[in-house]
Amino acid sequence: MTARRGLFVAPFDALADPRVVGDLAATAEAAGWEGFFLWDHLQYGDRVGEIADVWTCCAAVAMRTSRLSFGPMVTPLARRRPQVLARQAASLAVLSSGRFVLGLGLGDDWVGEFGAFGDEVSPRVRGQMLDDGLTVLTGLLSGEEVAHEGPHYTARGVRFRPAPRVPIWLGGRFPHAVPLRRAARHDGYFVIGLDGPDDLDTVAADIAAQSPAPGFDLVVDLRTDQDHTPWLDRGASWVLTRIGPFDLDLAEVERIVDAGPPR
């Protein structure tokens, strides 16, 4: 398998402007990148001042490109209503002619991002909300009628008109088994916390044991200063280059993007 190459971009500070993000995405497409995925946060500690809205940025990417796959990586579903998220995802899929990928997960609360706004702070409860919300979300995106009475979300006999198919990737931290099993029921697994390529071999084997659907994506991200070569033939379908989160210099980011994927 030849891994596809993409960018994993924090729209923070110097990049906290959807116009700048759109420009970067256009540059990325011209430089040979195949994906452009955006962090979804409301705050990120004292070192980050400004943060752009991921959905506005995704719309900018959709309008400035024609080939890139793109989407949020990852959106904490527990912070959103699945029916609203389904409408947003379907709209971006239409806007981009089917290039939108929806990355979902529990969300990382290391800076108290959830408690600061009164959102659910328990990872266990957020996991339950994620599973409950996925039932509603995937049902609505399918175009079928959804009748669901869950502990957190409800859909009473509603149907959305089907849009272009939206792949759903689930994020999770290695070596936890629950997010891997959850991801295997959908379209991809964005795995974080890998120490080296050997860990990727383990994840690929564990995913295969879950019998995912054909075309399942295994996604990793690497820093710009890492050697990407050892990761490119270890079972990942996507290897992303991380841009951010701290001390972002626009000129340096533009240089990295314009240089194209490292080999």
pTM for this predicted structure: 0.97
Give dist(CA 155, CA 88) in Å, integer. Answer: 17
Question: 17 vs 14, 45, 120, 175, 203, CA distance in Å?
Answer: 8, 19, 28, 35, 35
pLDDT of residue 1: 64
Cis link prior to 18 (omega < 30° from 0)? no
Domains and their CATH numbers in the chain: 4-259 (3.20.20.30)
Q: Which residues contact 54 (CB under 8 A, 6 or more apart)?
A: 11, 38, 39, 40, 72, 75
Give dist(CA 106, CA 97) in Å, integer. Answer: 28
pLDDT of residue 132: 98
Tally of residues, the chain: 263
In three-state secondary structure terms, 32 is coil
pLDDT of residue 242: 98
Question: pLDDT in tens for each of the 263 residues of the chain?
Answer: 689 999 999 999 999 999 999 999 999 999 999 999 999 999 999 999 999 999 999 999 999 999 999 999 999 999 999 999 999 999 999 999 999 999 999 998 889 999 999 999 999 999 999 999 999 999 999 999 999 999 999 999 999 999 999 999 999 999 999 999 999 999 999 999 999 999 999 999 999 999 999 999 999 999 999 999 999 988 999 999 999 999 999 999 999 999 999 87
Angle between helices 82-95 and 54-64 (to 10 degrees): 20
Give dist(CA 106, CA 109) in Å, integer. Answer: 9
pLDDT of residue 3: 95
Q: Which helix (H) or strand (E) holds 33?
A: none
Give dist(CA 139, CA 153) in Å, integer. Answer: 13
